[in-house]
Amino acid sequence: MSGFRDSVSDTLVLARRSLMRIQRAPDLLVSFTVQPIMFVLLFVYVFGGAISTPGYDYVDFLIPGIVVQTMAFGGFVTALGLSEDLKKGLVDRFRSLPMSRGAVLAGRTLADIATNTVSLAIMIAVGLVAGFSFGAPVTDVAAGIGLMLLFGYAFSWVFAFVGLVSSSPESSQAFGFIVIFPLTFISSAFVPVDSMPMILQAFAEVNPITVTVDAMRALWLGAPAGDNVWQAALWAIGIAAFFAALSVNRYKRAVTR
Amino acid sequence: MSSDAAAIEASGLRKSYGKVVALDGVDLHAPAGTVLGLLGPNGAGKTTAVRILATLLRADSGSARVAGLDVAADAAALRAKIGLAGQYAAVDENLSGAENLEMVGRLYHLPRGEPSTRAAELLERFGLSDAADRLVRTYSGGMRRRLDLAAALVARPPVLFLDEPTTGLDPRSRIDLWETIEDRVSQGTTVLLTTQYLDEADRLADRIAVIDHGRLLAEGSSDELKDRFGGERLDLTLEDRDQAEAATAALAPLATEPPSVLPSGALCFPVARRQGTIAAAVRRLDEAGIGIDDVAMHRPTLDDVFLSLTGRAASEAENGADAPPEEDGGA
């Protein structure tokens, strides 16, 4: 069907545009490269000594958690870009073209997968240098990488929605700090959940970030998996589907500010 | 009028944002190959009308057809036949001029190879060939607008929507852009142009629709509007200003209202008609023994039309032009 072919082609045209943006204005590159390195080093060497993680070296405990956090944030480029496109009238232009209605969003989130892959590779490399070691079969490690890209993709859709509803690129960025930071910190990402006060523990245990981090520890460290891996994958698919529907709907009605 | 030949036909368009009524039942009509100018101050509803016709926004009620297609029901098909250039130069700063146009060409699904030849062609025509491979963020404001207009023309759309295309441009760039628009129209393109500049509407538009507060106040050619709402005036300079009263009395049968005095000291008589007025005035003044230094008919300007329709001088309405061109209550 030519409609489907056009949608794919539109999506690729716009994904390419997003990636060219990074190449042309490399300011954003810092957040994919330097920031993850900084986070790994800060946590391992500054907090690492003070946090007790029974059964694991802190660096082993940390890497799956910090990778999840970085992937959750990876989609902020989508929020930033969409919010800029809205402000500059580009969304109006795209909406006046005979192109697929979802392509602007699908293109951006697709481009995020590429940048997330770069971040992921850098974090693994820095982790290995800092003393991290995989404690699981290669297939599990690969599955973990797959899960991370899926999880990052899901959060790109969350950010797509944020970009469409926020009043400026700045406020879409602020959202990241207000929502995503607490979500990742009140989870098993950086400290064992049972070290938190009761109320936070209750939240952390149902937090999908915890499920995902625990799934990653199972896949990369050989920790007991339970149902975490499947649950994490379902969470990611659910989040992606929910926010994709919400975002596409919002995009169709988008009003320029 | 037959709607078959109309490239743009709207009736009873209404749109409100919460309590703010942006359009309050507007009818528009533009035959194929003509320019319809939508003239009105900031916040008049011009942009809302364009957004509805360009399929970006749904009207609360009313209907519209563009290029023979319904803007709501046939929106997807219609998008292949329209080009839109907005108040903002909607181009990607981090792509070159050529890359911008090629991207738009691909999104119009032009045949393989066509986007790049079309881009080169348009860059040439808009005098941007030298800057084709430079990133748009290095372009001047005028260059961005030209690129924006070029992007709207990529697929040679039969209907073009230009929302305040020259707001914020320097005079030279405005004239360049006007010439380009005139060139497109001579090739058969239909254009809906919104503007707050009277000279722009006067020069480009075949028909002008004056709107304010979401309502259509008047519609017609520039000359028709001037005849209907501007009114003819006779400007008279006397040899001896002390004879003003005598002259007023002598011309009373011709004038529709008492004269006003212009800053130059000339008397300005609103008159009912143009034909024969000067001859009659000269005869009457001669019979009354009043010496004339200068006499002329004054054609009304669109400014006069605008003032009489909106109660505001156009220059007053234009004051908002320096502010961000936000409209429609910034919904």
CB atoms inside a 10 Å sphere around CB A65: 24
Confidence at residue B274, expressed as pLDDT on a 0 to 100 scale: 76
Minimum distance, in Å, between the CA of residue B213 and any CA atom of chain A: 20
Distance between CA A26 and CA A30 in Å, rounded? Answer: 7
Q: Is the pLDDT of residue A41 over 70?
A: yes
User: Is the predicted pLDDT of residue A152 greater than 90, yes or no?
Assistant: yes
Find the mean pLDDT for residues B219-228: 83
Inform me whether the pLDDT recorded for B222 exceeds 70. yes
Are residues A89 and B90, on separate chains, in Cβ contact within 8 Å? yes
pLDDT beyond 90 at B326: no
B51-65 pLDDT per residue, tens: 999 999 999 999 999
For helices A103-129 and A138-165, what crossing angle results, to 10°? 130
The amino acid occupying position A120 is: L
For chain B, give the mean pLDDT: 85
Residue given tokens 């130059």 in the structure block: B264
Question: Residue A222 above 50 pLDDT?
Answer: yes
Residues of chain A with Cβ-Cβ distance to B53 below 8 Å are: none
pLDDT surpassing 70 at residue B220: yes
- More confident call, B272 vs A205: A205
Q: What is the pLDDT of residue B52?
A: 94
Asked if the model's pLDDT at residue B205 lies above 60, the reply is yes
pLDDT at B80 (0 to 100): 93
Residue contact B331–A98, C-beta within 8 A = no
Average pLDDT over residues A16-41: 85
Distance CA A243, CA A114 (A): 20
Buried b (16+ CB within 10 A) or exposed e, B229-252: bbbbbbbbebeeeebbeebeebbe
Say which residues have a Cβ less than 8 Å from residue B323's Cβ, sequence separation at least 6. B42
> Is a pLDDT exceeding 70 seen at residue B331?
no
pLDDT of B280 above 70: yes
**B42 or A73, which is more confident:** A73
| Res. A201 pLDDT band, cuts 50 70 90 | very high
Q: Do B107 and A13 touch (CB under 8 A)?
A: yes
Give B331's contacts in chain A (Cβ within 8 Å): 255
Is B36 a residue whose pLDDT tops 90?
yes
Distance CA A73, CA A159 (A): 9
Closest alpha carbon within chain A to B103: A13
Mutate to test the interface with B, among A10, A17, A92, A101 (most CBs of B within 10 A): A92
Query: What is the average per-residue pLDDT within B312-323?
Result: 49
CB nearest to B108's CB, from A21, A92, A97: A97
Q: Which residue has the tokens 């050529």?
A: B98
The answer, yes or no, to whether residue B14 has pLDDT greater than 70, is yes
Mean pLDDT of the residues in chain A:
89
Smallest Cβ–Cβ distance between A17 and the set B55, B103, B109 belongs to B103
* Residue contact A98–B88, C-beta within 8 A: no
Residues in B 128-157 with any Cβ partner in A closer than 8 A: 135, 151
How far are the Cα atoms of A135, A222, A224 from residue A141, in angstroms, in the given order? 9, 10, 14
Quickly tell me which residue has 């001029």 as its tokens.
Answer: B97
| Domain architecture of chain B: domains with CATH | 6-227 (3.40.50.300), 232-299 (3.30.70.100)
Q: Which of A206-210, A237-241, B276-280 has the lowest mean pLDDT?
A: B276-280
Which among B56, B91, B94 has CB closest to A96? B56
Closest CB to B103: pick one of A13, A89, A98.
A13
B54, B151, B331 ranked by CB distance to A255: nearest = B331
The predicted-structure confidence for B131-175, as pLDDT tens digits, reads as follows 999 999 999 888 898 899 999 999 999 999 999 888 877 888 888
Q: ipTM score here?
A: 0.86
CA–CA dist B299, B305 (Å, integer): 11
Alpha-carbon distance of B121 to A217, in angstroms, equals: 57
Note whether B94 contacts A93, CB cutoff 8 Å.
no
Q: Which residues in chain A have their CB less than 8 angstroms from residue B135's CB? A: 24
Backbone angles phi and psi of A165, in degrees to 5: -100, -15
**What one-letter code names the amino acid at A80?**
L
Query: Does the beta-carbon distance from A99 to B107 stay under 8 Å?
Result: yes
pLDDT at B309 over 80: no
pTM for the whole thing?
Answer: 0.81
How many C-beta atoms surround the C-beta of residue B193 within 10 A?
27
pLDDT of B314: 59
Residue B255 sits at the chain A interface (C-beta within 8 Å): no
Residue, of B326 and B129, whose pLDDT is higher: B129
pLDDT reported for residue A160: 93
**A254/B90 Cα distance (integer angstroms):** 15
Nearest to B329 by CA among B43, B41, B14, B24: B43
> Shortest Cα distance from B324 to chain A (angstroms)?
11
The residues with which B64 forms a beta bridge, in sequence order, are B10
Sheet holding B6-17, edge to edge: B20-31, B6-17, B61-66, B69-70
